[in-house]
Every structure is written in C-alpha cells, then in structure tokens.
Amino acid sequence: MRAELAGLREQALTDIAACQAETELEAVRVRYLGKKGSLNAILRGLGGLSAEERPAVGALANDIKDEILARIAEKASELASDGLRRSLAEERTDVTLPGRARPRGHTHPLRAVEQEIVGIFVAMGFSVAEGPEIEDDFHNFGALNFPPDHPARDTQDTLFLTLADDALLRTHTSPVQIRVMRSQRPPLRVIVPGACYRRDEPDATHSPMFHQVEGFMVDEQVTFADLKGVLVHFLRRLFGPETGVRFRPSFFPFTEPSAEVDIACSACAVTGRPTPGCRVCRGKGWLEVLGSGMIHPNVLRAVGYDPEVVRGFAFGMGIDRLALLRHDLDDLRLFFENDLRFLGQYPS
C-alpha cells in the first residue's frame, strides 16, 4: 500500500508539472484527491492493514495529500504570473500615442439662428414664451380672427389629429400669443420661438415641419412707429447695420394694418441696384423676411383686453428661410436630412 501511495504521488506531481491552465490543475486535483479520486480508492484498503500499520499509512496519505495540494497552489500562482507577463507583453500600451479625438456635437444651424434671433429681442427687453405644438381650433385660428371658412382651416393646409374633434398641429406660433395674452396682463413684450406644421410636400423651399419666431408687444401707447423701430433695429442687428429695410402693405387676419417686411438683397447690395440674374432675389433686389402688423382689435377682444385701452403689434418670421439666407443656401431639406457632412460645416 505504501508503494501504491508513492506511485500516486509520483504520477500526481508529474501531471501537475505538465498543466498549462488553471482548469487543468483543477481536473488533476479532482482526479487524485476528489471523493472518487485515486487517493480515496487506495485508502479504502486501510481496513485490511494491521492496527499498528494503519496510523502510519494514514499519516503518509495525509502528507501526500498536503504535498499535492501545495504543489497545485504553487503551480496555479506560476500560471497566473505567466499569464500576466504574457498579457503585459501582448497588450502593451504606448502611453505616448496621442488620444483618439471623439467627434463633438454642436448646435444645429437652425437652432443657432433661432438663438441669435431670440437673443436680439431679449436684449430689447422681450421675454421668451413657449407653447404646445398640438393646438385646438380656438387658439390656432378662432382667437386670431380667422373667419370660419378661411382656407387655412382646410385639411389641404392643416394637419388635423384624431385625438379630439378640433385637435391640430399648430400651423404657426401665433397661438402662443393668445395663450400668453389670456394668462397675463399688459404691458407685454414676448418672443416665441418654435416648430410649426403644415401639409406641404417637402421641396427646396417647403417642409411639413418648419420653425418660426413670433413676437408681440402690447401696452397702452404702442404704435406702428414702435413696430417699425423694433423690426428695423432687429434686422440690422441680424443682417448688418447698413441693411436696407422696407415695409409693404399686406393682409393677415390677425393684424390691421398689416405689413410685410423686406430686406435689400445682400447679393445685389454690392452693386447698389437689383441685378437682373441675381440668384438670391431673382432680380427683385428685395427679400421678404417678416410678416407684421398692429394686433387686430378682434384678437385683443378674444383674449379679454379692451382695444380702446391697449394696443399692440405682432410679427412672425420663418427661421428656416432666414438660416438659408444667412448661410447662402438654397435648399431647405439640407437642414432636416441631418447629414453630418453638411452640419459639420456650420459649427456654432
């Protein structure tokens, strides 16, 4: 039996030395020392030994077991440090290499123009208001003096929702004007940036979603001269101090009188007169940028103001179109395709 134990010890130590991985070591341990392992198999023969021999052989078996366990532990730490050395060699990091730059996002060119516009009005004492993009007929049309049969209410132009009878996606930012005037009292100076929706096929100049900035001022002494002063100042801050500005009579349901506002074409301004083939203004010499007017007395009444006491002006402009002009572009879709190669050219 002593010879069997010695043989087992010899074989186990050889097997341990040959191990290449910790899993193999574990297999060796189970093979020799496990419940059904070779050592226990030998020890089952202890009962056949004499009473004098039994303790000595038992002690020998224990020594062999301890030796095998110690050798396994030793081999395991050898394998671990080999592994560490190997991965250090294979996965060496060159700490002198420059870091990999991550591309950084920036403000979208539309948002940047919106922020610039809003900033100019905030500097004039306007506060910023926002409102829901899902509106109802009252805020989007009724309170703004649109007659019941106005074509803008048609499903050709307006995107209606099935949420409720008159739920729709706002077609302009003007409903926020109604919401602010109904919840606050004059004096008011407010600017409203936001997304609007109309039923349009996307092309170079149309998009079913577009952006507006709406503004209005309501107080006891507000006149058309205030409207002119504020808008001329704004346009010259945005397009340059020499920018030519003109007001043309127009019509909107919610203002009376109404005016469209043009700026002199900057592409033609170099020559001082309209250029027949000008790509930007198509030879007109002027570019329409704003709609404006004195708030209609019916609108003031709809929000509970007395048009005999307070007056106001309002204006609205398309951010997308201003951004096209600003960046000398001629296709609106570029802003909505979100091609990073395009957007990357307009870092904020």
For Zn ion, the closer of residues 129 and 268 by Cβ is 268
| Residues touching Zn ion, count (CB under 5 A) | 6
How far apart (Å, rounded) are the C-alpha atoms in residues 18 and 11?
11
For Zn ion, the closer of residues 185 and 279 by Cβ is 279
**Interface residues for Zn ion in 61-120 (CB under 5 A)?**
none
For Zn ion, the closer of residues 191 and 268 by Cβ is 268
Q: What angle (nearest 5°) sits at the alpha carbon of residue 123, between those of residues 188 and 320?
A: 90
C-beta of 146: minimal distance to Zn ion in Å?
A: 34
C-beta of 286: minimal distance to Zn ion in Å?
A: 8
H/E stretch holding 234 reads helix 224-239
DSSP one-letter code for 3 = H
For Zn ion, the closer of residues 290 and 295 by Cβ is 290
* Cα dihedral across residues 292, 294, 298, 299: positive or negative: positive
Question: Which stretches of 124-223 are DSSP H helices?
Answer: 137-140, 174-183
DSSP-based three-state secondary structure for 40: helix
For Zn ion, the closer of residues 118 and 264 by Cβ is 264
Smallest Cα–Cα separation from 261: which of 317, 207, 311, 201? 317
For Zn ion, the closer of residues 265 and 302 by Cβ is 265
Site string for Zn ion, 281-310 (x = CB under 5 A): x-----------------------------
For Zn ion, the closer of residues 264 and 300 by Cβ is 264
How far apart (Å, rounded) are the C-alpha atoms in residues 318 and 213?
7
Smallest Cα–Cα separation from 127: which of 55, 168, 175, 187? 187
C-beta of 290: minimal distance to Zn ion in Å?
A: 18
C-beta of 331: minimal distance to Zn ion in Å?
A: 18
C-beta of 279: minimal distance to Zn ion in Å?
A: 7
245, 263 Cβ separation under 8 angstroms: yes
C-beta of 264: minimal distance to Zn ion in Å?
A: 8
C-beta of 322: minimal distance to Zn ion in Å?
A: 16
C-beta of 330: minimal distance to Zn ion in Å?
A: 13
For Zn ion, the closer of residues 207 and 266 by Cβ is 266
**Interface residues for Zn ion in 256-285 (CB under 5 A)?**
265, 267-268, 278, 280-281
Smallest Cα–Cα separation from 266: which of 297, 294, 244? 244
197, 159 Cβ separation under 8 angstroms: yes
Site string for Zn ion, 133-172 (x = CB under 5 A): ----------------------------------------
For Zn ion, the closer of residues 136 and 262 by Cβ is 262
How far apart (Å, rounded) are the C-alpha atoms in residues 182 and 106?
37
Smallest Cα–Cα separation from 310: which of 300, 320, 299, 319? 300
252, 230 Cβ separation under 8 angstroms: no
C-beta of 323: minimal distance to Zn ion in Å?
A: 18
How far apart (Å, rounded) are the C-alpha atoms in residues 226 and 228?
5
How far apart (Å, rounded) are the C-alpha atoms in residues 331 and 328?
10
Residue ranges in contact with Zn ion by CB under 5 A: 265, 267-268, 278, 280-281
